[in-house]
Amino acid sequence: MYICKYILDPLSEIHKSGFVTILGKPNAGKSTLLNQLLGQKLSIITPRAQTTRHRIFGIDSGDDYQIIYSDTPGVIRPRYKLHERMMDSVGTALEDADVLVLLLSAYETHDESSLMDMASRFSGPKLLLINKIDISQPQEVDMRMHMATSQMTFHENFKVSALKGQGVAEVKAAILSLLPKAPPYFDKEQVSDRPERFFVSEIIREKLFLLLYEELPYSTEVEVVQFEEDEEISRIHATIHVERKSQKGMIIGKGGLMLKQIGTEARRDIEVFLGQKVYLELFVKVSEGWKDNPTYLRGFGYR
């Protein structure tokens, strides 16, 4: 997505705005960091890798600033067209960025060579965050920091716990100091570029990732097919797409129990998100091989 940057107006003399991309491997804590920076739950979070599949704007506005964060999918080597689309969205988020936040987990180890290559190609200011310090050995944290700083130059380095919020205020202060002078790009009340129905589908997907076993969540996609809001209640119909027929029964579960649990837990969170009562109906549909099918992927919002 190309974002047209505003022509400066007199306001921009005192107002700062910019795009900040959070980059890292799956599970590093990018979505946790975004939510912590925003002070609200926008992105879904699960202990499983590859939870985030889309670039998501999280917008933090103050009187004289607007920070537009991009949460991004974790950097992986693509195995399906789905992954290719996910990595394309990471590439675009890097192209648009004024500031890059590179988030490395001190707790897990990955092959980070492609991630470090991407980060080193970014020519703007970079912040290095070593995350999960609450559960990591100090030597491990220092080693990760040394490994990254020996490969490229960062404007500033931080040791953080995105989960506990440790060090996050300092990161925001550093971001504010690096933002260019510009007027706001979005309405100051806006928290994301995505509509409510996108977050509704994400909440359902979060429950699939939390409740389903092994590789099954990776075969699922959620599509909100009907979303009607009135003053009293939101009526939502969503389809859970699976790749193969055999997976359909596993999602529905014995006596429909699994689907019921997914629905109950999702509805509870959607009610909190929308601030009103929700009637949620879930269907399961086989969309053979959707992860490698451009038509399905387009329909699910992967461009």
- Contact residues: Mg ion, CB under 5 A: 30-31, 51-52
Dump strand ranges (E) for the chain.
16-24, 56-62, 65-71, 99-105, 126-131, 156-159, 221-229, 233-242, 277-286
Contacts of 7 (CB under 8 A, 6+ apart): none
* Closest by CA position to 1, among listed 93, 86, 131, 139: 93
Give the C-alpha separation, 180 to 203, whole Å. Answer: 34
* Closest by CA position to 26, among listed 111, 153, 125: 111
Q: Report if residue 36 touches ligand GTP, rule: CB under 6 A.
A: no
**Among Mg ion, ligand GTP, none, residue 24 binds (CB under 5-8 Å by kind):** ligand GTP
For ligand GTP, give the closer residue by CB, 17 or 35. 35
Q: Report if residue 31 touches ligand GTP, rule: CB under 6 A.
A: yes
**Which of 38, 162, 179, 280: binder of ligand GTP (CB under 6 A)?**
162
Q: Report if residue 51 touches ligand GTP, rule: CB under 6 A.
A: yes
Q: Report if residue 73 touches ligand GTP, rule: CB under 6 A.
A: yes
**Which of 92, 131, 201, 247: binder of ligand GTP (CB under 6 A)?**
131
Query: Which part of the chain contacts ligand GTP (CB under 6 A), choosing from 49-57, 92-100, 190-198, 266-274?
Result: 49-57
Instruction: Let me know: does 38 contact 60? Beta carbons within 8 Å.
Output: yes
For ligand GTP, give the closer residue by CB, 24 or 58. 24
Query: Which part of the chain contacts ligand GTP (CB under 6 A), choosing from 26-34, 77-85, 232-240, 263-271?
Result: 26-34
Rg of the chain, C-alpha, whole Å? 20
In the complex, the smallest distance separating the C-beta of residue 69 from ligand GTP, rounded to whole angstroms, is 12
Q: Report if residue 124 touches ligand GTP, rule: CB under 6 A.
A: no
Structure token pair of residue 35: 């939510």
Q: Counting every residue, how long is the chain?
A: 303
For Mg ion, give the closer residue by CB, 17 or 51. 51
**Which of 74, 183, 184, 217: binder of ligand GTP (CB under 6 A)?**
74
Give, for 274, the enclosing helix (H) or strand (E): helix 257-274
For Mg ion, give the closer residue by CB, 30 or 159. 30
Task: Say what the alpha-carbon torsion angle 181, 184, 185, 188 is, to the nearest 10 degrees.
Answer: 150
For Mg ion, give the closer residue by CB, 159 or 205. 205
**Which of 11, 118, 143, 163: binder of ligand GTP (CB under 6 A)?**
163
Q: Across the chain, which distance is largest between two alpha carbons, in Å?
A: 64
Residue 46 gets which letter from DSSP? -
**Which of 2, 7, 47, 255: binder of ligand GTP (CB under 6 A)?**
47
Q: Report if residue 135 touches ligand GTP, rule: CB under 6 A.
A: yes
For ligand GTP, give the closer residue by CB, 73 or 184. 73
In 10 A of CB 29, how many CB atoms? Answer: 24
